[in-house]
């Protein structure tokens, strides 16, 4: 099996580089591979790779190259989810491992839901599905796009439509919740006002009734009939008291007469 240093020598023996590779950058890369830092990184990454649970079928070809090939073949941009399908399936279409199959199934379910709602199967929508299924990006890299793109640069232009749509939906939800709270507050205030109005009317009715009674009493006291009636009562009371006194005196006189006899 070819060693790390042998691979470097093979790379240096290539006289004709691809047109997309800058010769100066290639020499710098080879120098890094030869350095102690590059060798140490290779030594560290080798056991880390053995721990990976998700394999791919592209070999030494980068996902960025696969993505470009798919774009040329389909004459349209492709999402990271589509790149994941292409790089984690065997020639017969089966997943390369159970973990990859589970992730692809989860992405497909999410994309079906997205197509029925807001994103209509867009490439941006599929990338968002990939991000939700695969989780947060790490180490300043964007999976499926090679070494160049970073999370901040990738999310800016490519996610603007989704971010705007998500923000609009969240704003709409917040506005609806705020409107509902206002309606509840208005209904509560109306109910309290109705109770206060009923209490005020009841108090006003009692006040008017009391004033009417006092007014009626005042008129009655000032009328001739009232004075005549009062005089009659006072006369009857005086007469009654006088008669009672006469009866008492007369009774005592009779008792005295009986005693003498």
CA distances from 197 to 187, 189, 191, 202, 209 (A): 15, 12, 10, 9, 18
Distance CA 104, CA 84 (A): 8
CA distances from 193 to 182, 203, 207 (A): 16, 15, 21
Distance CA 95, CA 86 (A): 10
Distance CA 191, CA 41 (A): 73
Nearest by Cα to 134 from 97, 81, 83: 81
Overall pTM surpassing 0.75 (yes/no): no
Provide the residue ranges of all domains of the chain, joining segments of one domain with +.
1-51, 57-158
Distance CA 63, CA 145 (A): 6
Q: What is the pLDDT along the chain (261 residues), one digit of tens a residue?
A: 556 666 656 566 555 566 777 878 877 887 888 889 988 988 888 888 777 778 888 887 887 888 888 889 888 888 888 888 888 888 888 988 888 888 888 888 887 877 666 544 455 555 577 777 877 666 656 666 655 555 555 554 445 555 666 777 788 888 888 888 888 888 888 888 888 878 877 887 777 677 666 656 555 445 554 454 445 444 444 444 444 554 444 455 445 544 545
């Amino acid at each position: 099996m070819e060693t790390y240093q042998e691979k470097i020598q093979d790379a240096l023996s290539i006289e004709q580089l691809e047109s997309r590779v800058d010769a100066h950058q290639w020499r710098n890369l080879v120098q890094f591979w030869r350095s102690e830092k590059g060798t140490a990184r290779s030594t560290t990454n080798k056991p880390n790779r053995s721990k990976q649970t998700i394999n791919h079928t592209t070999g030494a070809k980068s996902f960025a190259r696969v993505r470009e090939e798919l774009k040329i073949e389909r004459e349209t941009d492709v999402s990271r989810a589509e790149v994941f399908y292409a790089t984690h399936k065997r020639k017969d279409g089966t997943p390369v491992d159970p973990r990859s199959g589970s992730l692809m199934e989860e992405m497909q379910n999410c994309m079906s839901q997205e197509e029925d709602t807001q994103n209509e199967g867009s490439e941006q929508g599929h990338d968002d599905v990939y991000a939700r299924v695969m989780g947060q990006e790490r180490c300043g890299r964007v999976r499926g796009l090679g070494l160049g793109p970073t999370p901040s640069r990738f999310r800016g232009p490519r996610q603007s439509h989704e971010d705007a749509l998500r923000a609009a939906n969240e704003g709409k939800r917040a506005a609806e919740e705020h409107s509902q709270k206002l309606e509840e507050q208005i209904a509560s205030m109306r109910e309290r006002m109705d109770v206060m109005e009923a209490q005020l009317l009841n108090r006003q009715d009692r006040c008017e009734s009391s004033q009417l009674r006092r007014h009626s009493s005042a008129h009655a006291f000032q009328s001739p009939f009232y004075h005549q009636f009062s005089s009659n009562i006072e006369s009857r009371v005086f007469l009654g008291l006088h008669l009672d006194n006469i009866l008492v005196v007369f009774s005592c006189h009779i008792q005295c007469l009986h005693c003498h006899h």
